Amino acid sequence: MTSQADYDLECCNVSKSFGPVRAVDDVSFEIPSGSFFSILGPSGCGKTTLMRMIAGFENPSAGDIRIKGASVLGTPPNRRNVKMVFQHLALFPMMNVQENIAYGLRCIGTGKAEIQRKVKDVLERIALPDVGEREIHQLSGGQKQRIAIARCMVLDPDVLLLDEPLGALDLKLREAMKIELKLLQHQFNTTFVYITHDQSEALVMSDHVAVMNNGKFEQVGAPQQLYHHPASAFVAGFVGDANRWSGSVLETSDGRARVETAAGFSLVCKTGGGQSLRRGDSVEVFVRPEFIRAERGDAAPAAAQTGDDSLEGTVDSLLFNGANSRVLVRSGTGELIEADATLTGGPEDARPGDRVRLTWSADQALCFATQGGGR
Amino acid sequence: MLDRNTNWGFLLGYRLYVLAFFIFLAAPLTAAAVFAFNDSLFPALPWQGFTLDWFFNDTDPKLGMFHDRRLLRGLYYSFVIGIAVAGLSVAVGTCNAFLFVRRQFPAKNFFYIVMIVPLVIPGVILGISILVFASTVANGVEDGYGIDLELLRPGILLVVLGQFSFVTTITSLVIIARLKKFDGSMEEAAFNLGASRARVLATITLPFLRPAMIAAGIVAFLVSFENFNTTLFLVGSESPLTITMFDRMAKVGSTPVLNAVSFFLMVGSGLLAVVSILVQRDRAKE
Amino acid sequence: MNPRDFKRLSLILLFMPFALWILLLIVLPHIGMGVLALREKVAPRVYEFGFGNFIEFLHEPIYWNTLLRTGTMSMLVTALALIAGFPIAYYIAKIAGRRSRGALFLLCLIPLWVSDLIRAFGWILLLRETGVISGALQAIGLIDGPVELLYNDVTVIIGLVYTVILFMIVPLVSTLDGMDNAMIEAGYNLGGNGFTVLRRIIIPYAMPGIVSGCIIVFMLTAGSYLTPILLGGKNSSWFTETIYEQFITRYNWESGAAFGFLLLAFTSGVVWLGLKLSRQTLAGTVAKS
């Protein structure tokens, strides 16, 4: 077994209750050194509380938190070697860039010459070598981000916590910053723990993602793992887009099930999350739009492979979004189904009112027992 | 909808009213100021020429302001009292701000109203109540222990305390308003970076409050300087400028030296007031 | 010291200045004043508890009348200040352009810093027999000889309104400034005319500012000393003068305390009534300005 010092951050059965409310419910995880770890979840799922416990601003009701193998529960927040980038950055407006970055160093009594050297060093590493003398309000959004990170990194922390730092930026800047953060993490080779509600941020930047809901970790794994093999209905619905139907199981066999959906059609799907289902169980079925093929009625029907589900319907509307374009199809029973489509604007595009046939492989349809059954 | 014509006429009438108001506002002040430069023994018409004598001349009967010893002494005492009141009230006001904005305690709303009450008590009442209280204590100590507590007799300390009693409410409100706008995450960030509590206070929180503290201090100084009602009952032999001027005014036939003082005070107060506004506006940019 | 104890200790330390200030300078002195008001002089140097001072107040019609006169004139001044000041406040908050608004507001603030004394002095210079207005009227030929404009009620009222009107305007400007213009436009859009918009939209919205201004103005007027005395002369009959007389001239502290108490009770009563009638609270109005 690898020695515990290989993990920069470990949480063992951490829980936090505020009165009757359980904000964090028995969470355990380890993060290997030098990796980018995201905690993904909707507002109110407890991720901020968890982060504040790691930083030391809250104390867990139960469990242990270990940094590089040593428990930090008794250490006050200004002594832990865990530094945090706050949601609105919290840069000090009455100091310039240099003084902001030097703040932590001054607190531990570093000498002047040493401070100057370290500040210069970190400014170069974030590729902003000349902004030392500038005031905070003179910086752009992206620059402020990097300064906030530099302010923490100059202290050489074991773990860097980032609390939804990209929320205040506009879309193009956000996209650029995602890549930058990933590169910065490699640069400094420090463990980053990143909390967010935006799943595209988590998927793009992380080595591992933990999906959190109602105080519990629903699944921890690599982004591809979460996307293609979700362990629960929540993860399947939260990560990426999916069509979603509820229904009940007609029959099961060998990891697959035939489900009769509430919408009135039946399909074959794979049982997700390693659950075992029985006839009559109520389930949710998820199919991602990119696995659904939509073909117009007048095209020659492609050879139906065994295990493919299919459905007939009429095109309701087109959603043009560049590479992510979709077509909305209304099935015979009135349901709206999203399928990926390439909309070039030419005559081959589907049109509202066209009759189409939707096909997808049963392997790409996942079903999970509805909350309260089968877990 | 109003007809265009009536609208225009109405607006004109309105503007004239506003203009008349500001003339009304300025009239007595202008009169007081202008006569400071009149080369006449009385602050009255006819105008007998421009002179700066009422400021700088040093011979009777045209004794200028800067040579009139009693007036200068009054100015000095007003200054001392003003600074004392400003200092005390800003200090206590800052404590009150932290108390009400950062802390929870029982009956907080009640105490908040109690804090505001001194502003709605007439200055006269504040004066007499403190006079009575201080005298009672001083008499009690004298009767009981034979010590004569000079401090508690009408004099500078009592004046400072009397003014402090209501000026503190003003400074508290000003600083509270500023503290409410403080982003708590900055303190957490400083904490996270390794600062001790005292350091966070000194390097982050207080610098943020500084503009409000300065503005509150200036307001406190000005209010103290021009206060009369409360001071009237608490003065001893060392009287501040307002009391001195009042004594002079009560005597018939005062010279324009009082106008010179008025002019000086108006300009001084105006400058300080502008400074206090600028201090607060500058920071608002950040 | 563990965190919880530290927090409690710091709370107590923070509370100390506040407690000392209020207790020593407000609460105890007022209690002392109350106690003194209830001491009757039975014989030289002999005092006993009694309402004698208050009874004396009720028996002497001059005292009673003075208080009533002060009260009614104060209310008149408050009303006048409101009526005259509201249009000005509205102009500054709503009609003036951006640049002139700051300048106008500043112009309103500066006279506030000038002492009561100087303001009253200025009026004396203008209104007395040998003053500017008398001289100007003579020069134009409207009157034959110098006219004494001071020492009457009208002058006192004008002087008082002048002294306090800025305390009415400043809270009003703050309140009106926070009012979204869209509300007024909506009022017109839905069919109102100038009068109904004023009555139903602007005034209710500005109510906290109005009440705040009225409270402050009333207290300042009733408690005013310099303006009535300097502009009204010896027969100005303002209650603060009566108190001063008792305390300083006659050295009758018991009476003075009793009268002070009565003034306080009277003004507090009016303020409380005003707050109740307009359904506001003290914290909501005065504190905001």
Cα first-last separation, chain B: 43
Query: CA-CA distance, C229 to B248, in Å (whole number)?
Result: 14
Alpha helices by DSSP H, A211-312: 223-228, 233-238
- Helical (H) or strand (E) element with A27: strand A21-32
In angstroms, the Cα distances linking A136 to A88, A162, B200, B286, C258 are 13, 20, 19, 9, 60
- Helical (H) or strand (E) element with B112: helix B108-120
**Residue B92's closest CA among B182, B170, B156?**
B170
Q: What are phi and psi of A223, to 5 degrees?
A: -55, -40
Query: With an 8 Å Cβ cutoff, is A320 touching chain B?
Result: no
More confident residue, A201 or B248: A201
**Count of A-B CB contacts under 8 Å:** 57
Q: What are phi and psi of C251, to 5 degrees?
A: 55, 30
Fill in the DSSP letter of residue B255: -
Q: Which residues of B touch A57 (CB under 8 A)?
A: 188, 191
B71-250: which CATH architecture? Orthogonal Bundle (1.10)
- The whole-chain average pLDDT of chain A stands at 84
Query: With an 8 Å Cβ cutoff, is A61 touching chain B?
Result: no
Query: With an 8 Å Cβ cutoff, is A86 touching chain B?
Result: yes
pLDDT at B93 > cutoff 90: yes
Q: Which CATH number does A241-369 carry?
A: 2.40.50.140
Dihedral sign computed on CA atoms, order B136, B142, B143, B144: positive
Q: Which residues of B touch C14 (CB under 8 A)?
A: 95, 98-99, 103
Are C287 and B173 inside 8 Å of each other by CB?
yes
- Helical (H) or strand (E) element with A329: strand A326-331
Q: Which residues of B touch C21 (CB under 8 A)?
A: 92, 164-165, 168
Are C110 and B269 inside 8 Å of each other by CB?
yes
Query: CA-CA distance, B55 to B62, in Å (whole number)?
Result: 9
Domain of residue C95, residue span = 60-285
DSSP secondary structure of C234-279: GGG--HHHHHHIIIIIS--HHHHHHHHHHHHHHHHHHHHHHHHHHT
Are A94 and B192 inside 8 Å of each other by CB?
no
| pLDDT for res B5 | 46
pLDDT at A373 > cutoff 50: no
Write the burial class of residue A337 (CB in 10 Å: 0-12 exposed, 13-18 middle, 19+ buried).
buried
3-state DSSP helix/strand/coil percent for chain A, to nearest 5? Answer: 25, 35, 40
- Give the domain ranges of chain A: 4-234, 241-369
- Give the domain ranges of chain B: 71-250
Average pLDDT over residues A207-221: 90
More confident residue, C130 or B27: B27
Q: Which residues of C touch B14 (CB under 8 A)?
A: 87, 91, 95
Nearest CA in chain A to B196: A78
**Count of B-C CB contacts under 8 Å:** 218
Antiparallel, parallel or unpaired: β A336-340 and A326-331: antiparallel
Domain membership flag for residue C70? yes
**Residue C225's closest CA among C127, C125, C133, C119?**
C119
- Helical (H) or strand (E) element with B248: helix B241-250
What chains are in contact with B, requiring at least 3 Cβ pairs below 8 Å? Answer: A, C
pLDDT at A5 > cutoff 80: no
Which of the residues in chain C have pLDDT under 50? 289
Nearest CA in chain B to A150: B193
Are C22 and B114 inside 8 Å of each other by CB?
yes
The total of other beta-carbon atoms located within 10 Å of residue A186's CB is: 12
Q: Which residues of B touch C70 (CB under 8 A)?
A: none
Closest approach of chain B CAs to the CA of C162, in angstroms? 7
| pLDDT for res C175 | 81
Interface test with A, best of B187, B188, B193 (most A CBs within 10 A): B193
**Residue C164's closest CA among C104, C106, C103, C120?**
C120
Query: CA-CA distance, C146 to C137, in Å (whole number)?
Result: 9
Domain membership flag for residue C271? yes
Query: CA-CA distance, A270 to A255, in Å (whole number)?
Result: 6
Closest approach of chain B CAs to the CA of C267, in angstroms? 9
| pTM of the entire predicted model | 0.80
**Using an 8 Å Cβ cutoff, are C242 and C63 in contact?**
yes
**Residue A190's closest CA among A10, A34, A82, A6?**
A34
Closest approach of chain B CAs to the CA of A334, in angstroms? 50
Percent share of chain C, pLDDT over 70: 88
**Could you say which of B25, B117, B269 has the minimum Cβ distance to residue C113?**
B269
**Using an 8 Å Cβ cutoff, are A289 and A339 in contact?**
yes
| pLDDT for res A70 | 86
| pLDDT for res A297 | 64
Query: CA-CA distance, C76 to C91, in Å (whole number)?
Result: 23
CATH number at residue C241: 1.10.3720.10
In angstroms, the Cα distances linking C49 to C247, C253, C255 are 19, 15, 13
**Residue B257's closest CA among B73, B46, B29, B53?**
B53
pLDDT tens for A40-95 read 999 888 888 999 999 888 888 889 998 888 888 888 888 888 999 988 888 898 88
Are A107 and B186 inside 8 Å of each other by CB?
no
Chain B residues whose C-beta is within 8 A of a chain A C-beta are 183, 185-186, 188-196, 199, 203-204, 207-208, 285-286
Interface test with B, best of C117, C127, C158, C169 (most B CBs within 10 A): C117
| pLDDT for res B285 | 46
Are C264 and B125 inside 8 Å of each other by CB?
yes
Q: Which residues of C touch B136 (CB under 8 A)?
A: 32, 36
C-alpha count within 13 angstroms, C-beta hemisphere, residue B62: 15
| pLDDT for res B95 | 92
Query: CA-CA distance, B161 to B85, in Å (whole number)?
Result: 8
Q: Which residues contact C134 (CB under 8 A, 6 or more apart)?
A: C127, C128, C143, C146, C147, C148, C149
Query: CA-CA distance, B64 to B68, in Å (whole number)?
Result: 6
Structural domain total, chain C: 1
Cα first-last separation, chain A: 30
A4-234: which CATH architecture? 3-Layer(aba) Sandwich (3.40)
More confident residue, B269 or B48: B269
Query: CA-CA distance, C199 to C202, in Å (whole number)?
Result: 6
